[in-house]
Structures are given as structure tokens and as C-alpha cells.
Amino acid sequence: HWSISDLLAGKVDADTTVTVKGWVRTRKDSKAGFSFINLHDGSCFDPIQIIAPAELDNYNSEILQATTGASMAVEGKLVASQGKGQSFEVQATAIEVLGLVDDPASYPIQPKPHTMEFLRTVAHLRPRTNAIGAVTRVQNCLAQAIHRFMHERQFYWIHTPLITASDCEGAGEMFRVSTLDQTHMPMTDKGEVDYSQDFFGKEAFLTVSGQLNVETYVSAMSKVYTFGPTFRAENSNTSRHLAEFWMVEPEIAFADLAQNADLAEDMLKYIFKAVLDERGDDLAFFNQRIDKTVIERLEGVVNSEFERMDYTEAVKILQNSGKKFEFPVEWGTDLQSEHERYLAEEKVGKPIVLMNYPKDIKAFYMRMNDDGKTVAAMDVLAPGIGEIIGGSQREERLDILDSRIDEMGLPKENYWWYRDLRRYGTVPHSGFGLGFERAVLYATGMKNIRDVIPFPRAAGTAEF
């Protein structure tokens, strides 16, 4: 059978007999002896219109029972549509109703606007809505574009582990992984739970980032990336944070921070251009119904040259802005999202790569700058969203890495293999992480990160 997108795009000649299969969005019955059924199958934003004549033998018994959400297989003739806005429709010669909807009045996905909050309570059915269907196509377009971009530039995709002993970001936001019977946990002499036995006799966690592992591969394969789930046990209930999210993490050898920033800029432009080129139907919906500036903002990213700015400069701009921020800024403090958004939205009006942050607010692996105070870190801040990418040049000098590990009180023995990379043929290298769902938020204009991942995991949200 044909996908609705192929039929509406004219890939099949008019007057051909076709079969389409999908779910009913709406059904309207005319007194003139036929019904109009809008059928969707996920392949594109628009449903296709089916004209079902009353002469069909199951018209009264089945077709008139097929309400919103019912599934069917339709055979009929593809004809040019008389109605406005539709290219083709199907004049049905046979309809097999595959599944009716139990108690149509209580079916949660009615053909009317629903709030995103409500749709989260029916996450198993929300893919049937216009909005979540469009999000799904855009997120898939982004994922394919990421792999294509990496492939064209000869990066290798490395599958890094989800279960790990090392805390990449050193922020203590890891979920424990345990194989032990939680009711009979081993205890230490001090009477505390002995987590060292957790994972078949070792301590283990869910990874917060694939970076440390991908650094091993960059030290042999030169250009690599990882793209997979990551986990953060941070109890932050915001529209930008999840406990489980996907991250794209490219890593490049023989590259400094400026080359890293170039790669980040090129990648964002490439993937957002793919959405503009391939998902015009979904973008038209988002632009009309969700965020009137989404297309303009995407075009802005694709066509503008990103601003580059040092942290120190940004602090001065914020201090001289005359704005009352909730959190005051001084050199050495981490920027809050109100500051990031001021810089990207009000001050510059396009994406900014903010670089060279104070060492004390960044992770142990970032390369120390010659000033002894800052590290070669970068965050990409996008108007309308704030931080979308975090990355750095990595510390490739063993002695300086060791003193950073000590300074931060991290367990050096856990990083023995990471340190080995600096002992055996070390090279300058850099990389970054793009929060995948943040990219989907940006590309759709959706307001809450829980609506751009199929099954959100956040504080207090683990159903489905």
C-alpha cells in the first residue's frame, strides 16, 4: 500500500487504484449519500480525504461506526481533489475497518485542541495528534541529518556504554545501577550501605555523557561521535531539563577550541537547514500554531555567522546592561539562563559561542588556558532557548590534568584509563555535546522539553 505522503505528493498517477491504511482523524456524513473521512498514517502533516459512498456493503454496519481513532484499510481510485488545499483524494471502492474505537465519547484524542499538559497524561495515544506527529517527523529529520553530517565529514559513530563507573561532569548527578537485593544491602563497618558491591561487586552508574569513552576512540580514529541516551539525577523541574535525554557528542583530534566552535556552528546550520528543506509542512504548522517566529529563527541560524565572545566580555556586558537580573553577575559565577537569553536574544540577536570560562565553574577535563584562571570551554547559546551545546578543548597534558583531578577531589584511580590517553601519544583534541531534545525544541518552537521526547523522564514522571 501507499503512504499518504506519496499519494499527496503526486507520486502516483491520477485514476490509479490504490490502497491506503491509517487512522481516522474525522468523519463527516453528507445527506447526498457518502461520507468524508480524513485518514492519517504519520507520513506527512496532512491527512488524505477518503470519499466513502453509501453503496459500500459495510457502510451502515461499519463505516458509520468508524469514529476518530478507528483504523482502516481503504481501496479506491486516486482522483484530483476539487476541494481547496488538497491535491488528491481517494474514491473508495472497498473499506475494511480494522479496529473500531471503544466508547467514542471517552476516547482521549478528540478532534479539537488539547493542552500539552493533558496530552502528557495520555503519552501512549498522543502520537496521533497533529502536534506530536509533527514533532516526531522533525525529530527524526534532525537525527538523520546529524548522522548524515557526521558521515559526510568522515566521523565514526561510536557506541559508548550507558553503565559506567566514571562521573564525566563531576557534578554528582548520577543514578546508581544495582544488581543487589535492595532489602539486604551489604553494610560497611560504619553501618552504612556498601555501594561498592552494587554492580556484580563494583560500583556503577548510568552515564551522564559519553565523552570520556569517546575520547579513547578519538585518540585512534581522529574523528568520532557518540549519539545516545544520557542520564542526569538532577531534581530540576524546568521546561529545559530531563532526567533522561539524548546527546550528540562529536570529538575531533588535532583541533583546538576555535575549530571546535566551527564544527558546532556548521553542524547546527546543517541540521536546521535539513528541517527547513524537508519538513516545510510541519514547520508551517508550528509557525502558525505554536511559535510565530520559529521559521524566522531557524533561517537566522542557517544564514547568520555566529557571534563569538569570551566569558569575561559577557560578564561586562551583563553588568553594564542596566537590567535587573534575579541573579547578580560577577566574574567567576556561572551564568543563569536569564543571562544567557539576554545575551543571545537582546544583546546579539543570533547564536553566540561563549568561550573561556573560569576554571572553577567547569569540569576537570577542560584545557587550562595560559592565564591560569580560565579553561578552553565553550557553550553555544541560542536565542529563545539558551544553552544548546556545551563543549571544550580537552586537557591533553597529564601533569595539568592530574592537578585538576586532585584540586576537585575526584578519585584518580577511576580515571586511570583516561589518564593513559595522556601517557601514550597524547594530542590536542576537542569536542562538544548537543542536547538533542533542546535542538528539537529549537526546531519546533515547542515550549516544554517533555513534549519533544516520546516518553519523558523527569522528576516524578516515569509512567509509560
Residues at the interface with ligand 4AD (CB under 6 A): 168-169, 209, 211, 232, 234, 241-242, 245, 247, 249, 387-392, 431-433, 435, 437-438
Binding segment for Mg ion among 106-114, 150-158, 261-269, 386-394 (CB under 5 A)?
386-394
CB under 5 to 8 A by kind: which of ligand 4AD, Mg ion, none does 396 bind? none
Residue 90 or 363: the one with the smaller Cβ distance to ligand 4AD is 363
If residue 189 lies in a helix (H) or strand (E), which one and from where to where? none
Q: Quick one: CA torsion of 252, 256, 258, 264, rounded to 10 degrees?
A: 20
CB under 5 to 8 A by kind: which of Mg ion, ligand 4AD, none does 63 bind? none
Nearest-angstrom CA–CA distance, 102 and 73: 19
Helix axes 257-278, 130-152, angle to 10 degrees: 130
Single-letter amino acid, residue 256: D
Nearest-angstrom CA–CA distance, 121 and 129: 14
Residue 43 or 211: the one with the smaller Cβ distance to ligand 4AD is 211
CB under 5 to 8 A by kind: which of ligand 4AD, Mg ion, none does 245 bind? ligand 4AD
Minimum distance between the CB of residue 363 and Mg ion, rounded to whole angstroms?
9
CB under 5 to 8 A by kind: which of ligand 4AD, Mg ion, none does 422 bind? none
If residue 416 lies in a helix (H) or strand (E), which one and from where to where? helix 416-423
Locate 296 and state its grid cell: 524566522
Residue 130 or 211: the one with the smaller Cβ distance to ligand 4AD is 211
Residue 173 or 281: the one with the smaller Cβ distance to Mg ion is 173
> How many angstroms separate the Cα of 112 from the Cα of each of 82, 129, 144, 281?
25, 10, 32, 20
Minimum distance between the CB of residue 249 and Mg ion, rounded to whole angstroms?
12
CB proximity list for 278: less than 8 A, separation 6 or greater: 141
Instruction: Report how far Cα 46 is from the mean position of its chain's Cα atoms.
Output: 24
Binding segment for Mg ion among 117-125, 235-243, 385-393, 413-421 (CB under 5 A)?
385-393
Closest to 71 in 3D by CA, of 106, 50, 100: 100
Residue 51 or 446: the one with the smaller Cβ distance to ligand 4AD is 446
Largest CA-CA distance found in the chain, in angstroms, rounded = 85
Per-residue mark of binding to Mg ion, 342-381 (x: CB under 5 A): ----------------------------------------
Minimum distance between the CB of residue 233 and ligand 4AD, rounded to whole angstroms?
10
CB proximity list for 224: less than 8 A, separation 6 or greater: 155, 156, 157, 158, 214, 217, 218, 250, 251
Residue 131 or 247: the one with the smaller Cβ distance to ligand 4AD is 247
Our finding on whether 435 is near Mg ion (CB under 5 A) is no
Our finding on whether 390 is near Mg ion (CB under 5 A) is yes
Residue 141 or 458: the one with the smaller Cβ distance to Mg ion is 458
Minimum distance between the CB of residue 382 and ligand 4AD, rounded to whole angstroms?
10
Q: Where are the beta strands (DSSP E) in 213-351?
A: 223-231, 244-253, 307-310
How many binding residues for Mg ion (CB under 5 A)?
1
Residue 39 or 252: the one with the smaller Cβ distance to ligand 4AD is 252
Reduced to 3 DSSP states, what percent helix, strand and coil does the chain have, rounded to the nearest 5? 35, 25, 40
**Which residue has the closest beta carbon to Mg ion?**
390
Q: What's the DSSP call for residue 222?
A: S
Residue 95 or 138: the one with the smaller Cβ distance to ligand 4AD is 138
Q: Where are the beta strands (DSSP E) in 124-222?
A: 156-157, 163-164, 205-206
Binding segment for Mg ion among 81-89, 153-161, 331-339, 390-398 (CB under 5 A)?
390-398
| Length of the chain counted residue by residue | 464
> Which residues contribute to the site for Mg ion (CB under 5 A)?
390
